[in-house]
């Protein structure tokens, strides 16, 4: 675990922020409204400028003089105190305005009453603390002579002061302002004890999305409560990724200076109402909080809120008065309510939104004019997702189209996703010049659409995914549009779950840059256009009627080929000079011999359920690119090349379910020097390793034969690299029994051994990591 203290950033940068706050009308209004001593503001401004005049010289000399460095830290500490006071004033003013907004009295009247009410103690506190800050600044300014500081100009950088629990001793100094942590080194964690002196901590960051430290949830919640109680001056708080956090304590409302809070990837179910007292809050993030079901009802009181994100949560409803968040610029999600009188989508029209937005439950928009008033066309969005409910059954397709038409996004949109749309047609803005900057387009489960728009006219489109459009039977020239070159920028195209799609035709000039084509679960599709000449990746899966011959279409450019459950696809065994990855799964009955020499650039070869595959062949030359070879569920597979498999860069071999295979490749120790992983599962006739032994770099093995396991120790001989062994499906009651395992083993995994009852731990004493799964009769040692 490590913590970093930022103490060396340029002083002038800190001072500029304070100058801006001092000059703000709100602070001046506060002093005048409460009839406080305005000379205090003037004197503070003068004194800070005096310090600023010395800042550049001090920044330069701090590296040679530790006293000047200490002086700089002291100055920054006082500047932070001044900033805290100014933030506290801003907080009081905002709170006053929020409370005034909920009262029938006018804002001016309410603020006036507030200034004249019983806040004498707070006024005295502010004046007293400003005087204390002035005294400290005066003391520090007087030290310029002793330190030899002069007014001057220095432009440079200064190093940050860094503290690490792992190497440094004692508590973190009280000058700490910024703290980041992870639980990679949990032994150094001390429940915030090391931060006991850092009362004015400004930021508290987690730096992981995967908390591996095994906190008791109750303990973690107590820790968070302690965090909120101790560090009242926090500006930034991130507990991103700590799933043990299940509730946010009410004390979060005491963090009146907080500007940003990130609770993403936690298990919180709701937020306390007190979080709506954080009137300085600018950023609130709760992404991937899968248990979160509602937002605070008084969220509208956070009038400064600029960013609200809660993607991938169970929130289905926006809070009342949501439209009052006029400063909101980043909103991840908006949920349309069934009761349009409570929460209406037209409230978005009063916001100035940037970035990305997902609008959920679009079917709840009753009046299409409300969608028009959302004014998406004039927002500054770059990503927009429009989602109808999955179970939505439209009663009026024309209304559906009108709603979508009125949700027209801005012209600079780059990504558009439409899910479960119930109309039969798409509006014109989907394909005309309105979206000339569109890069990615996703259409999913728009089941009632009868035809596709001319997406080929979208000149910037690079990624197009279409899935679940059950009404599409044929895709033809209308898909490409009337331009001489359609889809001129498209690089990636995917069709998924198109149940009724049968025909696909396109113009000869279409798809000049298409590189990746994926087609999944299109059971009636009969063929592909012959114009797809420049494909680098072809992935087809579950297309029962698709008839193509790969060599006629793609041999000049194809680098990746995956064919799964497509019985009519023909892959002739000829030279494929560019192919780098190949997967064939099921129903390729014509494949009996796989000639490696025909695939000279192949890195990955995966052959599964090829019922007639008997062997892999290779001539005299070594294959200098193959790194991964997997053969599974090929019952007739019986042999490798007769003189051994020559693949000097091969790292992984996996053979599963080869019932007729008797021998592994010859001369593995010599011909496969890079092999690090070997898997032989459900190959009952393979009873021994090659006489020459196994490769010396082998580190991981998976075996399901007790005879192979028993021969390991002698086969490996002097090999000390084997570290991990996975054993599967052994028909034994005790393990390892008489079998002597290699001494180099560190990790042992035992899988799916239903008869296993006992482990001989004396024979496993050199194993540091032992695990088992699917062994119901094996009980842990007591």
Q: Which residues pair with 237 in a beta bridge?
A: 204, 261
Checking if the pLDDT of 162 tops 60, the result is no
Q: What is the pLDDT of residues 263-284, one digit of tens each?
A: 998 899 999 999 999 988 888 9
User: 749 is written with which tokens?
Assistant: 């995994």
Maximum separation of any 2 CA atoms in the chain, in Å: 99
Report the distance separating Cα 392 and Cα 343, nearest Å: 20
- In this predicted structure, what is the pLDDT of residue 636? 95
Q: What is the pLDDT of residues 517-533, one digit of tens each?
A: 999 999 999 998 877 77
Q: What is the pLDDT of residues 101-150, one digit of tens each?
A: 655 444 444 444 544 444 566 777 787 888 888 888 888 877 777 777 76
- In this predicted structure, what is the pLDDT of residue 227? 75
Of the candidates 197, 206, 196, 201, the one whose C-alpha atom is nearest the C-alpha of residue 178 is: 201
Q: What is the pLDDT of residues 195-213, one digit of tens each?
A: 666 666 777 777 654 444 4
User: 505 is written with which tokens?
Assistant: 């035709």
Report, as an integer, the average pLDDT of 215-233.
71
Q: What is the pLDDT of residues 415-468, one digit of tens each?
A: 999 999 999 999 999 888 789 999 999 999 999 999 999 999 999 999 999 999
Query: Which residue carries 């005034």 as its tokens?
Result: 100
Asked which of 55-59, 310-314, 346-350 is least confident by mean pLDDT, the reply is 55-59
- In this predicted structure, what is the pLDDT of residue 166? 45
What's the chain's length in residues? Answer: 782
Sign of the CA dihedral with 469 first, then 475, 478, and 480 last: positive
Instruction: Identify which has the larger pLDDT, 244 or 665.
Output: 665
Report, as an integer, the average pLDDT of 155-177.
48
Q: What is the pLDDT of residues 466-476, one digit of tens each?
A: 999 999 999 98
Report, as an integer, the average pLDDT of 164-187.
56
Asked which of 55-64, 226-235, 628-637 is least confident by mean pLDDT, the reply is 55-64
- In this predicted structure, what is the pLDDT of residue 606? 97
- In this predicted structure, what is the pLDDT of residue 498? 96
Report, as an integer, the average pLDDT of 68-75.
80
Instruction: Identify which has the larger pLDDT, 252 or 179.
Output: 252
Report the distance separating Cα 637 and Cα 229, nearest Å: 68
pLDDT confidence bin for 157, thresholds 50/70/90: very low
Cα dist. 256→95, 231, 233, 274 in Å? 10, 11, 8, 11
Report the distance separating Cα 170 and Cα 356, nearest Å: 45
Rounded to the nearest integer, the mean pLDDT of the chain is 83
User: If you write DSSP's letter for every residue of 741-777 in order, what string do you get?
Assistant: PPTT--EEEEE--TT--EE-GGGGTT-SEEEEES-TT
Residue 644: half-sphere exposure toward Cβ, Cα within 13 Å: 18
- In this predicted structure, what is the pLDDT of residue 780? 63
pLDDT confidence bin for 161, thresholds 50/70/90: very low
Which of the given ranges, 20-29, 95-104, 307-316, 713-722, has the highest pLDDT on average? 307-316
- In this predicted structure, what is the pLDDT of residue 466? 97
pLDDT confidence bin for 555, thresholds 50/70/90: low
Q: What is the pLDDT of residues 587-596, one digit of tens each?
A: 677 889 999 9
- In this predicted structure, what is the pLDDT of residue 115? 47
Q: What is the pLDDT of residues 727-775, one digit of tens each?
A: 999 999 999 988 888 888 999 999 999 999 999 888 888 899 999 999 9
Q: Which residues pair with 700 in a beta bridge?
A: 677, 724
Checking if the pLDDT of 313 tops 90, the result is yes
Report the distance separating Cα 626 and Cα 605, nearest Å: 8
Q: Is 187 exposed, middle or buried (0-12, 13-18, 19+ CB in 10 A)?
A: exposed
pLDDT > 90: percent of the chain: 45
Instruction: Identify which has the larger pLDDT, 547 or 8.
Output: 547
What does the CA dihedral 503, 508, 509, 513 come to, rounded to 10 degrees? Answer: 70
Which of the given ranges, 92-96, 238-242, 337-341, 656-660, has the highest pLDDT on average? 656-660
């Amino acid at each position: 675990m490590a913590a970093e203290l930022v103490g060396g950033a340029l002083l002038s940068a800190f001072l500029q922020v304070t100058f801006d706050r001092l000059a703000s009308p709100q602070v001046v209004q506060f002093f005048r409204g409460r009839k406080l001593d305005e000379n205090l503001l003037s004197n503070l401004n003068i004194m800070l400028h005096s310090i600023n005049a010395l800042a550049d010289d001090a920044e330069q000399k701090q590296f040679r003089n530790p006293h000047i460095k200490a002086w700089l830290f002291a100055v920054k500490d006082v500047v932070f105190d001044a900033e805290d006071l100014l933030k506290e004033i801003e907080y009081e003013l905002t709170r006053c305005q929020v409370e005034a907004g909920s009262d029938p009295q006018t804002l001016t009247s309410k603020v006036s009453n507030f200034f004249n009410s019983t806040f004498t103690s707070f006024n005295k506190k502010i004046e007293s603390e400003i005087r204390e800050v002035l005294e400290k600044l005066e003391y520090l300014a007087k030290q310029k002579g002793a330190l030899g500081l002069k007014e001057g100009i220095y432009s440079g950088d200064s190093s940050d002061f860094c503290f690490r629990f792992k190497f440094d001793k004692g508590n973190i100094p009280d000058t700490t302002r910024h703290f980041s942590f992870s639980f990679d080194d949990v032994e150094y964690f001390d429940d915030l004890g090391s931060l006991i002196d850092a009362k004015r901590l400004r930021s508290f960051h987690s730096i992981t999305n995967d908390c591996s430290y095994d906190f008791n949830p109750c303990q973690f919640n107590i820790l968070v409560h302690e965090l909120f109680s101790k560090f009242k001056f926090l500006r930034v708080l991130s507990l991103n990724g700590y799933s043990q956090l299940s509730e946010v304590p009410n004390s979060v409302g005491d963090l009146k200076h907080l500007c940003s809070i990130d609770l993403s990837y936690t298990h919180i179910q709701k937020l306390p109402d007190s979080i709506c007292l954080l009137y300085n809050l600018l950023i609130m993030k709760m992404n991937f909080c899968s248990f979160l079901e509602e937002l605070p009802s008084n969220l509208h009181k956070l009038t400064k809120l600029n960013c609200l994100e809660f993607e991938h949560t169970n929130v289905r409803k926006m809070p009342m008065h949501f439209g009052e968040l006029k400063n909101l610029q980043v909103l991840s999600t908006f949920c349309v309510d069934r009761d349009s009188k409570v929460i209406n989508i037209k409230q978005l029209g009063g916001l100035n939104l940037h970035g990305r937005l997902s609008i959920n439950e679009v079917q709840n928009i009753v009046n299409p004019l409300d969608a028009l008033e959302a004014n998406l066309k004039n927002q500054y969005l770059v990503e927009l997702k429009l989602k109808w409910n999955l179970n939505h059954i439209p009663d009026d397709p024309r209304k559906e189209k009108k709603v979508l038409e009125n949700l027209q996004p801005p012209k600079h949109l780059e990504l558009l996703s439409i899910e479960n749309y119930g109309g039969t047609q798409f509006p014109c803005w989907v394909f005309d010049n309105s979206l000339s900057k569109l890069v990615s387009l996703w259409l999913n489960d728009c089941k009632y659409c009868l035809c596709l728009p001319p997406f080929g006219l979208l000149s910037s489109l690079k990624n197009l995914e279409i899935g679940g459009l059950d009404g599409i039977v044929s895709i033809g020239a209308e898909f490409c549009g009337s331009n001489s070159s359609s889809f001129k920028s498209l690089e990636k195209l995917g069709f998924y779950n198109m149940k009724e799609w049968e025909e696909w035709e396109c113009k000869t000039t279409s798809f000049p840059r298409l590189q990746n084509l994926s087609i999944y679960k299109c059971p009636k599709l009969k063929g592909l256009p012959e114009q797809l000449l420049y494909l680098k990746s072809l992935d087809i899966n579950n297309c029962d009627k698709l008839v193509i011959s790969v060599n006629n279409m793609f041999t000049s450019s194809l680098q990746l080929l995956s064919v799964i459950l497509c019985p009519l696809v023909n892959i002739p065994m000829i030279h494929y000079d560019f192919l780098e990855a190949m997967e064939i799964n099921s129903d390729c009955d014509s494949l009996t011999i796989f000639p490696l020499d025909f695939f000279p650039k192949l890195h990955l070869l995966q052959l599964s359920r090829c019922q007639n595959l008997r062997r892999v062949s290779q001539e005299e030359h070594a294959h200098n690119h193959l790194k991964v070879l997997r053969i599974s569920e090929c019952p007739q597979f019986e042999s490798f090349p007769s003189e051994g498999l020559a693949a000097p860069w091969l790292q992984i071999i996996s053979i599963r379910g080869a019932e007729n295979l008797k021998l592994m490749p010859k001369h593995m120790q010599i011909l496969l020097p890079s092999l690090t992983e070997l898997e032989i599962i459900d190959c009952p006739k393979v009873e021994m390793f090659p006489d020459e032994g196994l490769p010396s770099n082998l580190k991981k093995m998976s075996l399901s034969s007790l005879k192979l396991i028993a021969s390991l120790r002698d086969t490996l001989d002097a090999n000390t690299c084997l570290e991990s062994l996975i054993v599967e499906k052994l028909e034994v009651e005790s393990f390892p029994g008489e079998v002597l395992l290699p001494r180099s083993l560190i990790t042992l995994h035992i899988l799916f051994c239903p008869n296993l009852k006992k482990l001989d731990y004396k024979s496993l004493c050199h194993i540091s990591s032992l695990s088992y799964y699917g062994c119901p009769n094996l009980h842990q040692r007591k």
